[in-house]
């Protein structure tokens, strides 16, 4: 059984003061289905690039008995057909086929199982729930989800490689995620980065967690890891409280011993100086022992909760709507050109509803949110009088400029907005930078903070968890359940949807 061995690895980017990894030592079995988790900015993608050799440790060593392949990767699209694209991404098989008269080329082709590869590709297409008909289509015409699946197939058909999959479900809807999860569950020998808790539960048999203070490996899926971490955090929190009480008690005892050594002992031995001196020494000895115990317990307490992390509680307000319903849709029809998205769709959004708009990619979920918001128009939608709607859609409302200036013109409550930004762990420096310099995750958090800090009776969220780590997902989930706003959302994270939604509007099903 081959391993990836990491010994005393240190790494930092030259432009950042804080090191990313310090003295990391790990042994990873290459037949594991390993899930890599950690907060945004913790170094998950950096870790993959170090394993792949794109980056080199500052010190320490990474050694392995196999090669690695990183996903996503720049696919070779020399030939238009999907079958040829897959072949070319398996060691250049399609190019080799044009020169099989050459003995060296033929040897390489045989080494890659070239003559049986088409049969293997068809089997993998079936396992990935893809139609064979796609193999004869132009690769450029496939959907993003189909391209993702096809390129994953090409990776798994490469020989003697350990696969490093960086968020492979980014362009997939719920059905697509299930297909990829089922496919990966039958494989072995890969490391996958994902923030999707349901996906991790279905796919992995080990968890590699980049924590606040260390990196740990645990057998099991995400749920077992989370349960064990919560138990450990709870135990250490109780131990920390106990140690805190003991430290306070010892501090009082040390203080009293010093006072007794200086005053009470004089009263006890007013004339006998020798006895007084011995008594003072005894009290001072007690004080020093207490102080040493205090130091020991403080050090013990410091060793607790080093990896304790929890989602900070969000707090936002929603206006009280008059009446019971906010938006009604009756027999809605909507098309893009000749493509019909909705025909006869009806729904009612009532006060307190948390509605999950669910469907496949291209089914019209985002379009429905825009129709509800009034950004697109069609017959059949009625909004209650005076209704205030705020939305955080896929494309950010703000595109350029400085946040501190942008927020002035939007009817945003500045105190609420800035508080949400802090709770989202956004640095204050963001207010001094132009919006276009923010990462996708930072842009998404600002968009959600903008929506939640505006006066509204109804909130619309379009894939709010894109680019977000597990802690943010828990944070938003807890907030929605606590505040109970009227909400309509699109989301491919089943874990979030199943816990938050009170009902579902299916589209394209």
pLDDT exceeds cutoff 60 at 127: yes
Find the mean pLDDT for residues 68-89: 89
Q: What percent of the chain has pLDDT over 70?
A: 89
pLDDT exceeds cutoff 70 at 301: no
Residue-wise pLDDT for 330-361, tens only, equals 999 999 888 888 899 999 999 999 999 999 88
Give the full edge-to-edge strand order of the sheet including 458-462: 389-392, 458-462, 487-490, 354-358, 503-506
Give the full edge-to-edge strand order of the sheet including 3-11: 21-29, 3-11, 59-64
The C-alpha atoms of residue 208 and residue 69 are separated, in whole angstroms, by: 19
The C-alpha atoms of residue 403 and residue 420 are separated, in whole angstroms, by: 14
Find the mean pLDDT for residues 68-88: 89
> Where is mean pLDDT largest: 216-225, 270-279, 412-421?
216-225
The C-alpha atoms of residue 125 and residue 141 are separated, in whole angstroms, by: 17
pLDDT exceeds cutoff 90 at 414: no
The C-alpha atoms of residue 421 and residue 156 are separated, in whole angstroms, by: 41
Residue-wise pLDDT for 464-486, tens only, equals 998 888 989 999 999 999 999 99
Is pLDDT larger for residue 295 or for residue 448?
Answer: 448
Mean pLDDT of the chain: 88
* 263 three-class SS: helix
Residue 49: band (very low, low, confident or very high) from pLDDT cuts 50, 70, 90: very high
Q: What is the pLDDT of residue 299?
A: 67
Q: What percent of the chain has pLDDT over 90?
A: 58
Instruction: Give Cα separations from 123 to 159, 209, 394 (angstroms).
Output: 16, 34, 36
Instruction: Give Cα separations from 385 to 34, 323, 382, 457 (angstroms).
Output: 53, 10, 9, 11
Buried residues in 454-472 as b, exposed as e (16+ CB within 10 A): bebbbbbbbbbbebbbbbb
Residue-wise pLDDT for 84-125, tens only, equals 999 999 989 999 999 999 999 999 999 999 999 999 999 999
Q: What is the pLDDT of residue 328?
A: 97
Is pLDDT larger for residue 198 or for residue 42?
Answer: 198
Q: What is the pLDDT of residue 424?
A: 87
Find the mean pLDDT for residues 161-165: 96
pLDDT exceeds cutoff 70 at 174: yes
Is pLDDT larger for residue 288 or for residue 75?
Answer: 75
Is pLDDT larger for residue 348 or for residue 417?
Answer: 348
> Where is mean pLDDT largest: 33-37, 208-212, 252-256, 471-475?
33-37
3-state secondary structure 421-470: HHHCCCCHHHHHCEHHHCCHHHHHHHHHHHHHCECCCEEEEECCCCCCCH
Is pLDDT larger for residue 246 or for residue 121?
Answer: 121
The C-alpha atoms of residue 220 and residue 229 are separated, in whole angstroms, by: 12
* 186 three-class SS: coil
The C-alpha atoms of residue 80 and residue 86 are separated, in whole angstroms, by: 11
CA atoms within 13 A on the CB side of 6: 23
The C-alpha atoms of residue 66 and residue 29 are separated, in whole angstroms, by: 11
Q: What is the pLDDT of residue 22?
A: 93
pLDDT exceeds cutoff 60 at 32: yes
Residue-wise pLDDT for 257-287, tens only, equals 667 666 645 555 555 555 555 555 666 666 6
CA atoms within 13 A on the CB side of 337: 1
Cβ atoms within 10 Å, residue 213: 11
Q: What is the pLDDT of residue 263?
A: 62
Residues in a beta bridge with 64: 4
Residue 399: band (very low, low, confident or very high) from pLDDT cuts 50, 70, 90: confident
pLDDT exceeds cutoff 90 at 179: yes
Of 305-319, 324-338, 437-451, least confident by mean pLDDT is: 305-319
Asked whether the beta carbons of 38 and 20 are under 8 A apart, the reply is no
Asked whether the beta carbons of 4 and 28 are under 8 A apart, the reply is yes
pLDDT exceeds cutoff 90 at 19: no
The C-alpha atoms of residue 342 and residue 211 are separated, in whole angstroms, by: 46
């Amino acid at each position: 059984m081959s391993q990836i061995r990491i010994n005393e690895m240190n790494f930092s980017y030259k432009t950042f003061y804080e090191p990313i990894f310090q003295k990391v030592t790990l042994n990873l079995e290459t037949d594991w289905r390993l899930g890599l988790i950690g907060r945004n900015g913790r170094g998950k993608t950096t870790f993959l690039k170090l394993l792949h050799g794109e980056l080199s440790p500052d010190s320490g060593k990474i050694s392995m008995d196999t090669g690695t392949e990183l996903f996503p990767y720049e696919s070779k699209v020399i030939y238009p057909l999907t079958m040829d694209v897959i072949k070319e991404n398996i060691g250049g098989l399609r190019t080799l086929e044009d020169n099989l008269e050459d003995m060296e080329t033929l040897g390489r082709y045989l080494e890659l199982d070239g003559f049986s590869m088409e049969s293997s590709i068809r089997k993998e297409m079936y396992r990935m729930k893809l139609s064979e008909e796609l193999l004869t289509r132009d690769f450029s015409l496939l959907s993003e989800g189909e391209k993702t699946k096809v390129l994953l197939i090409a990776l798994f058909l490469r020989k003697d490689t350990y696969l490093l999959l960086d968020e492979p479900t980014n362009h997939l809807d719920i059905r697509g995620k299930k297909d990829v999860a089922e496919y990966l569950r039958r494989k072995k020998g890969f490391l996958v980065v994902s923030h999707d808790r349901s996906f991790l539960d279905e796919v992995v048999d080990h968890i590699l967690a980049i924590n606040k203070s260390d990196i740990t490996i645990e057998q099991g899926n995400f749920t077992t890891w989370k349960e064990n971490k919560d138990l450990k955090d709870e135990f250490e929190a109780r131990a920390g409280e106990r140690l805190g009480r003991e430290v306070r008690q010892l501090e009082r005892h040390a203080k009293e011993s010093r006072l007794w050594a200086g005053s009470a002992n004089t009263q006890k031995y007013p004339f006998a100086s020798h006895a007084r001196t011995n008594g003072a020494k005894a009290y001072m000895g007690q004080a020093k022992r207490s102080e040493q115990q205090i130091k020991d317990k403080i050090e013990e307490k410091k060793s607790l909760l080093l990896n304790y992390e929890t989602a900070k509680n969000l707090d936002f307000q929603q206006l009280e709507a008059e009446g019971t319903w906010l938006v009604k849709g009756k027999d809605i029809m909507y098309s893009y050109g000749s493509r019909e998205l909705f025909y006869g769709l009806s729904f009612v959004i009532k006060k307190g509803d948390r509605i999950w708009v669910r469907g496949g990619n291209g089914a019209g979920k985002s379009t429905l949110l825009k129709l509800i918001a009034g950004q697109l128009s069609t017959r059949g939608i009625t909004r209650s009088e005076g209704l205030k709607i705020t939305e955080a859609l896929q494309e950010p409302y703000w595109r350029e400029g400085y946040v501190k200036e942008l927020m002035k013109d939007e009817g945003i409550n500045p105190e609420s907005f800035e508080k949400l930004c802090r709770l989202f762990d956004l640095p204050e420096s963001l207010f001094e930078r132009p919006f276009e310099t923010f990462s996708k995750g930072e842009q998404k958090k600002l968009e959600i903070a903008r929506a939640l800090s505006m006066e509204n009776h109804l909130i619309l969220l379009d894939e709010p968890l894109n680019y977000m780590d597990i802690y943010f997902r828990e944070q938003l989930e807890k907030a929605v359940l606590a505040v109970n706003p009227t909400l309509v959302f699109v989301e491919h994270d089943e874990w979030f949807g199943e816990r938050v939604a009170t009902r579902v509007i299916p589209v394209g099903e």
